[in-house]
Amino acid sequence: MNNEQLHIDTSAAEQKIWSILSTVVDPEVPVLTVLDLGIVREVQINGGEVEVIITPTYTGCPAMDMIAMNIRLAVAEQGYKTVKVTSVLSPAWTTDWITEAGKEKLKQYGIAPPNPKQQVCNDKLFAANEAVQCPHCNSHHTHRISEFGSTACKALYQCDDCKEPFDYFKCH
């Protein structure tokens, strides 16, 4: 087998792994895949070993062990014998890495997706519009009830118009 053929085979195998990863869901928000979350940084195939490199949504996230196990199982179920999941902390994950499709899935699930991150203007840090849109009725008339919602990465809000409580996926 020549190098060009090896590259084509590796690329096809990597594409297959990415396809498999598109089916692995977040245990805390099961409408999001690990690709929607943007936590998968790289896929490497070295000989017979598949390595999936991920970045945790935040250090100490309790779902990361389950996510790593689900990645290993999903890839192994497709016939790959050696599957390694490696966590890297740098660069740190940010909600900017959530795909647009992922943000729409969050909203459809009843979780307000993260607002744009803070921005710098004239060397001063300004918070982006703090209004959180209700995923139920789309109103911006909402208020925070608690800094923490169903998980540490979410805050609990309530809509002043439809009165429904909802989680907001906090920016970071």
11 and 73 fall within a common domain: yes
Q: Examine the fold and report which residue of 93, 116, 147 is the final residue of a domain before the chain moves on.
A: 93
- Residue 172 confidence (pLDDT) above 80: no
82 and 162 fall within a common domain: no
Q: What is the pLDDT of residue 59?
A: 80
Share of the chain above pLDDT 90, in %: 72
Residue with tokens 């959530």: 98
- Residue 1 confidence (pLDDT) above 50: no
147 and 69 fall within a common domain: no
10 and 89 fall within a common domain: yes
What is the rounded CA–CA span in Å between residue 40 and residue 22? 10
Contact 130, 157 (CB under 8 A): no
115 and 153 fall within a common domain: yes
What is the rounded CA–CA span in Å between residue 64 and residue 47? 26
74 and 133 fall within a common domain: no
74 and 103 fall within a common domain: no
Share of the chain above pLDDT 70, in %: 86
What is the rounded CA–CA span in Å between residue 148 and residue 38? 22
CATH code of residue 43: 3.30.300.130
* Domain range enclosing 109: 99-169
Question: Quick one: pLDDT band at residue 121, thresholds 50, 70, 90?
Answer: very low
114 and 76 fall within a common domain: no
Q: Examine the fold and report which residue of 93, 108, 141 is the final residue of a domain before the chain moves on.
A: 93
Report helix, strand or coil for 150: coil
89 and 113 fall within a common domain: no
When divided into structural domains, the chain yields a total of 2
137 and 69 fall within a common domain: no
Instruction: Please give the DSSP secondary-structure letter assigned to residue 140.
Output: S
What is the rounded CA–CA span in Å between residue 63 and residue 152? 11
85 and 103 fall within a common domain: no
Nearest CA to 96 out of 29, 39, 32 is that of: 39
Q: Examine the fold and report which residue of 47, 67, 93 is the final residue of a domain before the chain moves on.
A: 93
89 and 8 fall within a common domain: yes
The torsion angles phi and psi of 124, rounded to 5 degrees, stand at: -115, 145
Cα dihedral sign, 33-89-116-155? positive
What is the rounded CA–CA span in Å between residue 87 and residue 76? 18
What is the rounded CA–CA span in Å between residue 49 and residue 45? 6
The torsion angles phi and psi of 66, rounded to 5 degrees, stand at: -65, -40
The stretch 45-62 carries a mean pLDDT of: 90
